[in-house]
Amino acid sequence: MIRGHLETDLSRYFSYPPMARQRGWQGHVRVAFTVQPDGQLTDARITRSSGYHVLDASALEALHRVGRLPQAREWLHGQALPMELPVIYRLEN
């Protein structure tokens, strides 16, 4: 349940890079990070590349923009939570 809430909160920070959209680049990036007890996101890294630097960089940049999820404090009860998420960049026709 905690992961679902966090995934929903994080999903609004991800966006499709305009250059990748224009060039038709699609892919899946896996990002890993730790949600600290205070909601701070740390140790963000790519665990699986999409094959496109711009997509990978966009996924990491989104995590850096989040910075902290204040509402995570009430869910984590003083425990850090390591997470790994897929970020899917797919163009719709």
Distance in angstroms (rounded) separating the CA atoms of residues 77 and 3: 14
Annotated domain spans of the chain: 2-89
- Radius of gyration of the CA atoms of the chain, in A: 14
Topology (CATH) of 2-89: 3.30.1150
User: Tens place of pLDDT for every residue, the chain, 93 residues?
Assistant: 567 767 777 788 889 999 999 999 999 999 999 999 999 999 999 999 999 999 999 999 998 988 888 888 888 889 999 999 999 999 986
Is residue 76 within 8 Å of residue 24, measured between CB atoms?
no
Please give the Cα distance from 9 to 1 (Å, whole number).
Answer: 13
